[in-house]
Amino acid sequence: MALLEFHDVTVQYPVYDVRAKSLRSRLVSISTGGRIEREAAGVQIVTALRDVSFTLRDGDAVGLVGHNGAGKSTLLRTMAGVYQPAWGSVRRSGRIATVFELGAGMDGELSGYENIQRMGLLMGIDQSEIRARMDDIEAFTQLGPFLGLPVRTYSAGMATRLMFAVATSSRPDILLVDEVFGAGDAEFQEKAAQRMASLISTVSIFVFASHDSAALKRYCSRFLRLEHGQVTEIDASAL
């Protein structure tokens, strides 16, 4: 049984060497929407999530809403275990896959094939599973012989196809997605939406952060609003 449970979770991190107060405030507003807790010797401590509690179980499809910097990405990364709480606890049961920043772990000097292996390993997919899914990844990218060339020779659209194909190649219990449906041209967006819908149908828990209310309503049945690092459950009519 898949499970994601937060109990009074607070996430904080330091911001170093930010000298001008106005610039500090602007950076915090853009990056987290959190609160500056204290400052000393050029270091400020930002609270990105505060006392967050909820439970997600099998069958939950959850949309995360909120303005830029409200804490959606921080919450997703804490779910995935990328960020650790300063206080509180997170319980996870089931294999987690993430579709966050497309291209995380990509090396421009390596070929497309080598980057498939590299990104897959960073996602926690073992070599045998990567090999088993290689045909599917190749077909989705439609890059053909370009997969043998260094990624630095790719256009932005070609790189996006490769990144998305790898990111959506696993079959997890829990899928965490951070706003990717607008990537690429119209043809790619349609293919990406179909591929994502197919993947969503196979997972036990799905969490999707987005500003697209139509997409949220299409894929999700529960909704959490983030504001200054705090979480409130809302219904679809409030989107």
Structure token pair of residue 111: 């070929």
Alpha carbons 126 and 233: distance in angstroms, whole number: 36
Q: What is the pLDDT of residue 97?
A: 84
The values of phi and psi at residue 13, to 5°, are -155, 155
pLDDT of amino acid 21: 52
- What's the token pair of residue 70? 């409200």
On the 0-12 / 13-18 / 19+ scale of CB atoms within 10 A, 181 is middle
Run of H or E including 160: helix 156-167
pLDDT under 70: residue ranges of the chain: 17-42, 101-104, 180-184
- The residues of the chain that CATH labels 3.40.50.300 are 3-94+211-238, 99-203
Query: What CATH class is the domain 3-94+211-238?
Result: alpha beta
Task: Tell me the pLDDT tens digit for each residue of 83-104.
Answer: 999 999 999 999 888 887 666 6
Predicted confidence (pLDDT) per residue in 107-136, tens digit: 999 999 999 999 888 777 888 989 999 999
Cα separation, 100 vs 204, in Å, equals 19
Q: Which residues, including other chains, have CB under 8 Å from residue 144's CB and lie 6 or more apart?
A: none
Entry pTM? 0.80
- What is the distance in angstroms between the CA of the first residue and the CA of the last residue of the chain? 30
Half-sphere exposure at residue 163, Cβ-oriented, CA atoms within 13 angstroms:
22
Query: Could you tell me the CA-to-CA distances from 54 to 49, 74, 123 in Å, in that order?
Result: 13, 15, 25
CATH 3.40.50.300 fits 99-203, yes or no: yes
Angle (nearest 5°) at CA 237 between 234 and 239: 70
Could you list the beta-strand ranges (E) of 79-229. Answer: 87-93, 96-99, 174-178, 205-209, 222-227
Q: What's the pLDDT score for residue 30?
A: 45
Whether residue 110 contacts residue 22, with contact meaning beta carbons closer than 8 Å, is answered with no
